[in-house]
Copies of this chain bind each other. A is one copy, B any other.
Amino acid sequence: MTIQVFGHKSPDTDSTGSPIAWAWYLSEIKGTPAAPKLLGEPNTEAAFVLSHWGLDKPEIISGVDADAPVVIVDTNNPAELPAAINDADIQGIIDHHKLVGGLETKGPIDIRIEPLACTATIMYKMMGKDIAQAPKGVKGAMLSCIISDTLEFRSPTTTQEDKAIAHALADDLGVDIAELAEQMFAAKSDVSAFSDAELLRMDSKEYEVEGTKFRVSVLETTAPKIVLDRKDSLMSSMTDVAKEDGVDQVLLFVVDILNEEATLLVPNDLVKTVAAKSFDANAEGDTVVLPGVVSRKKQIIPNLKL
């Protein structure tokens, strides 16, 4: 039975490219048939990466059958996976996020979680010498994953291993990292086709602080103005999105990749308090700039206070 390899429900570049890389490795090197899948529509950067490297868009699936063999990548959080995930035959987990608890497996399986910026970096290490056999599209997808998750090495999540492996892949492919990054970030910044609600949910994780539930949303862009020009309608749709998703407040951080700063929208006093207590930032109007903040994992979530 073909193993389905997938990441989380909001497919960014890493959750789109890493399943492609790992399904290749399982099928072609390990001899165990595997296919990449998506749990949702890839974001604009991931869509660009697929087309840039001539890769087919993986099939989008809405759930998994009981006992179906699966490998989960780029998450270990049941909330970001199909509801019945624990009934599937989970055969492996490759991830770089904190252990959330909640996934259960029927027997001992291969689990590899490392504090690196990107799932593809871990896969590269696991593949060892076999990476040499990977087709250009797989190597290109893996390079793009690392560029995306590290924001071209700007994110504080970046490790020496992520950097070294990205450069090894780029050298092998004869690719200019800066040029590829520019194209990827331009694709990610093209958010014109999305509704306000879609933008608020595009790259979002729920997080609770002292009983208050936040949807912590991030939009990484090289053109923050395009998003910030929509701030009034974004803020007004926060109420509906929060209500529909059962959280108390949406926090939207517009991350300016090139200038390495985030702008937090401040629709009310609750978010004003969050800005002050979490980031020592005094919001005068309905936005506040947070210099140096680009990573939800390293800089936003660990500091969130109320």
- Give chain A's interface residues, CB within 8 Å of chain B: 90, 93, 95-116, 297, 302
| Total identical chains | 2
CB neighbours of A115 from chain B (8 A) = 107-110
A111 touching B112 in the complex, CB below 8 Å, given contacts A99-B103, A103-B101: yes
Extra pairs beyond A98-B106, A111-B113 (7, CB < 8 Å):
A98-B109, A99-B105, A101-B102, A108-B113, A108-B116, A109-B113, A110-B114
Q: Would B103 and A98 count as touching, CB distance under 8 A?
A: no
Interface centre among A90, A93, A95, A111 (most CB of B within 10 A): A111
Q: Would A96 and B108 count as touching, CB distance under 8 A?
A: yes
Residue on B with the closest CB to A100? B104
CB neighbours of A101 from chain B (8 A) = 101-104
CA distance A112 to B257 in the complex (A): 32
State how many angstroms separate the Cβ of A288 from the closest Cβ of chain B: 25
CA distance A103 to B99 in the complex (A): 7
CB neighbours of A110 from chain B (8 A) = 113-115
Q: Interface on chain A toward B: helix, strand, loop, or mixed SS?
A: loop
Residue on B with the closest CB to A96? B108
CA distance A110 to B114 in the complex (A): 4
CB neighbours of A95 from chain B (8 A) = 108
Partner of A108, one of B90, B93, B98, B111: B98
CA distance A102 to B102 in the complex (A): 6
Residue on B with the closest CB to A97? B108
Partner of A99, one of B97, B104, B297: B104
Partner of A112, one of B102, B104, B112: B112
Residue on B with the closest CB to A99? B105
CB neighbours of A99 from chain B (8 A) = 90, 93, 103-105, 109, 111
CB neighbours of A109 from chain B (8 A) = 98-99, 113, 115
Please list 16 pairs of residues, one from A and one from B, whose beta carbons are closer than 8 Å in the complex, sorted by A's number.
A97-B108, A98-B105, A98-B107, A98-B108, A98-B109, A99-B105, A101-B101, A107-B297, A108-B115, A109-B113, A110-B113, A111-B111, A111-B112, A111-B113, A111-B114, A112-B112
CB neighbours of A97 from chain B (8 A) = 108
CB neighbours of A93 from chain B (8 A) = 99
CA distance A69 to B1 in the complex (A): 42
CB neighbours of A100 from chain B (8 A) = 104
Residue on B with the closest CB to A86? B101
State how many angstroms separate the Cβ of A295 from the closest Cβ of chain B: 12
